[in-house]
A and B are shown apart, each in its own frame.
Chain A
């Protein structure tokens, strides 16, 4: 049965179904409902919730819990994610799985609390130090906030790597129907974890490799697993792309506005289609190339000054003209505004 739920709350409910029983976080708008829901729900199902003294502490608590082999998560927004970067680098370096939610808001600095998509570089390209990747998922609805959270736990465990739910203030704050199955997942056993048992006594979780060759070997191993993820995990959604002449590309809340834009454009006889990346890393480049090969123009729309567009351009490598339209500061473009952008760019302005 469907229940109404906020995006931020859906994340927590799904985490519990994914077998996660540990949440360490610090409040920040527009992500606070994640911590609040975790504080309310986790202790009732035998889980741990701690409001840490900072996001620095929170991510290191996540590190400790992940090392102990439990499914663990945290959530925050831009400023908090900035503080978590060191810890996320350590998590990746020590190959520890966890799920981190970034409900993006306006930046840089304190910015504002309205939605932006300006943490793309930080999350997708890796905001911490060193060679590593985050697995990044981009939900666009409350239902997906839940589904992607469950998927993120699986991917994090599969690749022993942090997985990020990258979303924005609108998706976090909005309410929609949520359908959850009464089917709780038993998290996988992690023989590599340090659990204070005779069997795990010999285990070591560390990111320090003093010898240059050792560190190189460690990184090559990480690279190999990232290559595997790149093969197996890209996900995307296509809408009305079969006969599309102009392809609109956007993720998260923008993809929702773009879907309405595509429908509005089609009513006016413009053959528009939507390409919505679901995984931002690994980026669904192959599918994008296939889809875009048939169109005349690609328009990337973001709530940023042009971050994801770099991955679109990398993928298409000059084969199709790629244009960009961005709004920042917390402004979200309207359907009419985007319709106009497309019409002008297609030289079909009415």
Chain B
């Protein structure tokens, strides 16, 4: 039967004595010489371990026909050298036995993700993801939906045979209602297994895809339509127009227990009522270039992006600048989220780094921050820092009463607690630790922003411990605070914090620090 020859080229019984010279095109009526073979197929299937002249597909299997139609289209469009074929897990896992193109075999269901990685790496190549219905519509549902939704410029050929072929006939998401399989022995029952999944329709609800069509390998007329659809899908990719998807209703005579002719009839009579043949999408969206709503990332030199080139006027921070009077200082800063606790820590290590010290900053992160409290650990050291985690700080900056009470006991004896509050709570005691209350919030408020309370505390910390130079603090603030009015407030806050400690010392409320030897 001439009809058979269309399918026969990839049939196992057909020896591949094809000479590439023979024009493999299907005639207008869909008929073709049996022995022609597209040069997009290998002459001999060397990757097979035996029977290298024939495919591993069963007689009458739709995969063979689809392979042939793809090969033919690739040849006609001159795409063979540019093509990368991503084969799935399923009966077509060995597509690379046949296609003389670049081949990548991917995990079950993940071909659209793998194809995404390939295509994004080779944007001007032709990337084909080839999948069965178990692969695409069950285990790989997420991958196909999202590849389509991103508008990946790949082509997906979806071979829907309503069954798991490779594993021996289990139910697929596309198995028809009432259709028996080894895992739906009484026939698919919607009450138990739900209804067949319509992938073409589902994907057509998305905005990005350029082309979605369902075709069937049921008869010559429909095979011709399939041929056109496959070619069109590849043309769309060639033109960079977007995501193209062809669902192909395809016979699996072996599992269906039918001969090839019956199986093709079954595709037409049983499958097409559930899976109507249609073009569900055919437009070439202007994606993504040309969309005015999109911001295009600027292209910058690597060193700029990574912050490697020192900006003009930047400080050389590779060597110590000051004669620091300590080996190391460990500071814990704690308070509420929004009080600038983490930022204060970052400013301190920026200063430390500029003064040539080793520094580390370790934040509390995640839900703890969401629930309101935040803290960070700051180490400044002349030597390599061991643990960035501080169990016993030399200085605790407590931005609220909760933190004061929670962390005071950790402070080393002889250490300092700087507390954001005019007066220390009456019942609070911390033996062997010097506690200084600083009305930082009030001071900051008067200066114009309560938010600057952390900078008031920074001023107090610098004055009290003399661990870093106030000049460094100013230059860091100048670099980091972009808004001029805020910078002015921060400058004043820094000075106010320092002055407060100074005055306290004069009235004898605070002893001068003995440094961190």
CB atoms of B360 and A64 under 8 A apart: no
Interface size on A, residues (CB 8 A): 83
Instruction: Tell me the dominant secondary structure on chain B's binding face.
Output: mixed
CB atoms of A208 and B93 under 8 A apart: yes
Chain B, residue nearest A87 (CB): B107
Contacts of B361 in A (CB 8 A): 4, 174-176
Would you give the shortest CB distance from A128 to chain B, in whole angstroms? Answer: 10
Q: Which among A29, A90, A177, A194 is the interface contact of B366 at CB below 8 angstroms?
A: A29
CB atoms of B142 and A54 under 8 A apart: yes
B-contacting 9-mer, from A68-76, A218-226, A287-295, A305-313: A68-76
> CA A176 – CA B365 in complex, angstroms?
16
Q: Which among A43, A202, A263 is the interface contact of B297 at CB below 8 angstroms?
A: A43
Contacts of B306 in A (CB 8 A): 13, 16-17, 41, 180
Would you give the shortest CB distance from A236 to chain B, in whole angstroms? Answer: 17
Given A13-B306, A173-B363, A176-B359, the answer on whether A201 and B389 have CB atoms closer than 8 Å is: no
CB atoms of B363 and A72 under 8 A apart: no
With an 8 A cutoff between CB atoms, is A272 at the interface? no
Interface size on B, residues (CB 8 A): 76
Contacts of A65 in B (CB 8 A): 117-118, 120-121
Contact flags A1-37 to B (C-beta < 8 A → 1, else 0): 1111000000001001100001010000110000000
Contacts of A30 in B (CB 8 A): 365-366
Q: Which among B107, B110, B310, B350 is the interface contact of A4 at CB below 8 angstroms?
A: B350
Contacts of A347 in B (CB 8 A): none
> CA A173 – CA B110 in complex, angstroms?
32
With an 8 A cutoff between CB atoms, is A131 at the interface? no
CB atoms of A336 and B308 under 8 A apart: no
> CA A14 – CA B49 in complex, angstroms?
44
CB atoms of B103 and A200 under 8 A apart: no
Would you give the shortest CB distance from A65 to chain B, in whole angstroms? Answer: 4
> CA A43 – CA B305 in complex, angstroms?
10
Contacts of B309 in A (CB 8 A): 182
Would you give the shortest CB distance from A147 to chain B, in whole angstroms? Answer: 14
CB atoms of B106 and A64 under 8 A apart: yes
Contacts of B65 in A (CB 8 A): none
With an 8 A cutoff between CB atoms, is B507 at the interface? no
With an 8 A cutoff between CB atoms, is A62 at the interface? yes
Query: Which residues of B are at the interface with A, using a C-beta cutoff of 8 A?
Result: 47, 49, 80-84, 86, 93-94, 96, 100-107, 110, 113-122, 124-127, 142-143, 145-146, 150, 297-300, 302-303, 305-310, 314, 316-318, 346, 349-350, 353, 358-363, 365-367, 384-389, 391-392
Query: Which residues of A are at the interface with B, using a C-beta cutoff of 8 A?
Result: 1-4, 13, 16-17, 22, 24, 29-30, 41, 43-46, 48, 50, 52-54, 56-58, 60-70, 72, 86-87, 90, 94, 113-114, 169-170, 173-177, 180-182, 184, 194-198, 200-208, 210-211, 214, 253, 256-261, 263, 332, 334-337
4 closest residue pairs by CB, A with B: A64-B117, A196-B125, A260-B386, A60-B113
